């Protein structure tokens, strides 16, 4: 599978629906984050109650499928998912298999309500659970993992690749606002990476492209709808990227 350039639109809960994602020229766009089971959805409702954006659906799986159906065949996409249960991840992997995308397991979210519901960063503290999830979803659909820079981040990335992840998406934030390029570089030696955090200029994007295979941005796109257009003047960022995965829609469970 070839993506048209090395840019990735990073997940933003309550913002990255199909319509929003389709409006950017990034080679890969990430829908969500979505909450795949009722416990995760309950946590998301609490997050909304204190003023943050989330996608709220009465039926989480139907809501996720309706967004995926709109983008399928039009953009190369991944779906960022939080879930309290293995089944939630498996349900989304099944949707992604049918519509031809990548499921991105969210081990990144730090909202306390979601961590309490065993979602997001909870998985970084429970790498064995993350390993099981990635192994199981990888048997259904191509699986990526979103991690946050932390003490055990390289170790967790290694486990994710061993479990079958096709990429690790690293939010390399250093508390205090800087970005840890070194940790991205180390993970890039283990497998395909998407480097993330503070990519807010052409210079930062090119710097990230030195250490990661793909480069993602979230907040910069909210500030400037033409941010990705501006990055695409760089030959380094505009070059296509070959993934050794097959994203064709399939009714067969992949044995790859």
Q: Contact residues for ligand FMN (CB under 6 A)?
A: 10-13, 15, 32-33, 80, 106, 108-109, 146, 171, 196-199, 217-220
Under the phi-then-psi rule, with left for phi > 0, alpha for psi from -120 to 50, and beta for the rest, what region is 175? beta
Burial class (CB in 10 A: 0-12, 13-18, 19+), 103: buried
Q: Which is it for the CA torsion 76, 41, 47, 52, positive or negative?
A: positive
3-state secondary structure of 167: strand
Contacts of 197 (CB under 8 A, 6+ apart): 149, 171, 172, 173, 179
- Cα angle 231, 23, 180 (rounded to 5 degrees) comes to 45
CB 103 within 8 A of CB 78: yes
Cα–Cα separations (whole angstroms), residue 78 to 101, 125, 143:
6, 24, 9
Cα–Cα separations (whole angstroms), residue 112 to 47, 108, 118:
9, 12, 10
Among 166, 10, 14, smallest CA distance to 102 is for: 166
**Helix residue ranges per DSSP H, 72-126:** 86-99, 112-116, 122-125
Give me the residues paired with residue 104 across strands.
80, 144
């Amino acid at each position: 599978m070839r993506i048209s350039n090395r840019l990735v639109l990073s997940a933003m809960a309550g913002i990255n629906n199909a319509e929003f994602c389709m409006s950017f020229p990034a080679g890969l766009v990430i829908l969500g984050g979505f909450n795949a089971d009722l416990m995760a959805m309950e946590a998301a409702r609490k997050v909304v109650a204190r003023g943050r954006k989330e996608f709220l659906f009465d039926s989480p799986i139907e809501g996720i499928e309706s967004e995926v159906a709109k983008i399928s065949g039009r953009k190369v996409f991944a779906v960022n998912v939080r879930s309290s249960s293995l089944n939630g991840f498996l349900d989304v992997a099944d949707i992604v298999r049918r519509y031809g995308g990548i499921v991105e397991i969210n081990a990144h979210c730090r909202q306390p309500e979601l961590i309490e519901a065993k979602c997001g960063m909870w998985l970084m503290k429970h790498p064995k659970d993350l390993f099981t999830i990635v192994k199981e979803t990888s048997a259904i659909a191509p699986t990526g993992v979103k991690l946050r820079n932390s003490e055990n981040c390289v170790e967790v990335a290694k486990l994710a690749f061993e479990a079958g992840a096709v990429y690790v998406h690293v939010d390399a934030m250093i508390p205090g606002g800087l970005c840890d390029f070194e940790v991205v570089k180390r993970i890039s030696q283990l497998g395909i990476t998407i480097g993330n955090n503070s990519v807010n200029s052409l210079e930062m994007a090119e710097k990230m492209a030195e250490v990661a295979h793909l480069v993602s941005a979230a907040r910069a796109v909210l500030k400037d709808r033409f941010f990705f257009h501006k990055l695409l003047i760089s030959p380094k960022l505009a070059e296509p990227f070959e993934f050794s995965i097959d994203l064709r829609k399939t009714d067969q469970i992949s044995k790859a």
